[in-house]
């Protein structure tokens, strides 16, 4: 894997995406790739941005220098646990936040976004697998949480996000992805929001093909693109 250069890794990933899409009869426009650049340098991110327009970072402390150099390039996704006191740093820079997981965070985003006059696109992070080390709300909290978010006018709920357990066979992630899709479908079936909630942010380097088969619309790829 690491013997490949960036070009070759991007090529390899796109052909694997195409094959997964073919297996389940979906089309390319339905799946977006976020290149997770958290493992790489500024130079590395610059190179990545020539191939992929969506980039993901998981800690503001690590992203800040990259943002200062490259922030006017591409679309930035915040994918890591977001501390409330970092909201002021990331809002207005990261167009998407994939880790909305608690009311206190929603309140802070609502307040700061109102000051900036912006709407923030968020994914509700769900800990489907129930692992203690994983962030996110429990699946049985999702509907109540979504109901609460209805009154947050600066927050647009794009979809749900999860991380499957890693260090396992990719196939083991399938029930996790399926459960996330069902939760999204339930939000829409109940008409919780007056808009559709179309997206599923799921699938990483180890399991993105399974995630695509289960309906992912945003896959987040770190090592498969950037290398280790």
Shortest Cβ 114–ligand PLP spacing (Å): 27
Instruction: Using the minimum distance from each CB to ligand PLP, give the nearer residue, 192 or 203.
Output: 203
- Alpha-carbon distance 11 to 18, whole Å? 11
Chosen residue from 79, 87, 120, 173 binding ligand PLP by CB under 6 A: 79
Q: Looking at 6, 21, 35, 36, which residue binds ligand PLP (CB under 6 A)? A: 36
x-or-dash string of contact with ligand PLP, 205-224, rule CB under 6 A:
xx-------------xxxxx
Q: What sign does the CA torsion over 165, 169, 170, 173 have?
A: negative
The HSE-up count of residue 63 (CA atoms within 13 Å, CB side) is 22
Those residues with Cβ within 8 angstroms of residue 54's Cβ, 6 or more apart along the chain or in another chain:
32, 33, 34, 35, 74, 75, 77
Among 35, 204, 210, 212, binds ligand PLP (CB under 6 A): 204
**Nearest distance in Å: CB 55, ligand PLP:** 12
Q: How far is the CB of 125 from ligand PLP (least distance, A)?
A: 8
Quick one: 123 exposed, middle or buried, by C-beta within 10 A (0-12, 13-18, 19+)? buried
The region of 21-29, 46-54, 168-176, 199-207 touching ligand PLP under the rule CB under 6 A is 199-207
The answer to whether residue 48 forms part of the interface with ligand PLP (CB under 6 A) is: no
For 86-107, give one letter per residue: b (16+ CB within 10 A) or e: bbebbbeebebbbbbbbeebbe
Site residues (CB under 6 A) for ligand PLP? Answer: 36, 38, 58, 79-80, 163, 204-206, 220-224
């Amino acid at each position: 894997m690491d013997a490949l250069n960036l070009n070759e890794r991007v090529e390899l990933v796109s052909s694997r995406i195409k094959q997964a899409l073919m297996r389940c009869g979906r089309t390319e426009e339905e799946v977006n790739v976020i290149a997770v650049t958290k493992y790489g340098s500024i130079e590395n991110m610059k190179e990545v941005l020539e191939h992929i327009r969506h980039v993901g970072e998981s800690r503001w402390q690590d992203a800040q220098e990259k943002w200062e150099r490259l922030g006017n390039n591409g679309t930035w996704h915040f994918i890591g646990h977001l501390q409330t006191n970092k909201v002021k740093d990331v809002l207005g820079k990261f167009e998407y936040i994939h880790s909305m997981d608690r009311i206190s965070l929603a309140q802070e985003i609502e307040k700061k976004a109102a000051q900036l006059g912006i709407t923030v696109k968020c994914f509700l992070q769900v800990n489907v697998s129930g692992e203690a080390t994983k962030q996110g709300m429990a699946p049985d909290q999702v509907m109540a949480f979504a109901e609460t978010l209805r009154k947050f006018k600066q927050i647009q709920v794009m979809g749900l996000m999860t991380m499957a357990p890693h260090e396992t066979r990719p196939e083991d992630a399938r029930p996790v992805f399926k459960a996330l899709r069902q939760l999204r479908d339930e939000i829409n079936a109940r008409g919780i929001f007056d808009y559709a909630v179309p997206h599923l942010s799921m699938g990483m380097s180890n399991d993105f093909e399974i995630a695509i088969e289960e309906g992912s619309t945003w896959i987040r790829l770190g090592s498969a693109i950037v290398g280790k």
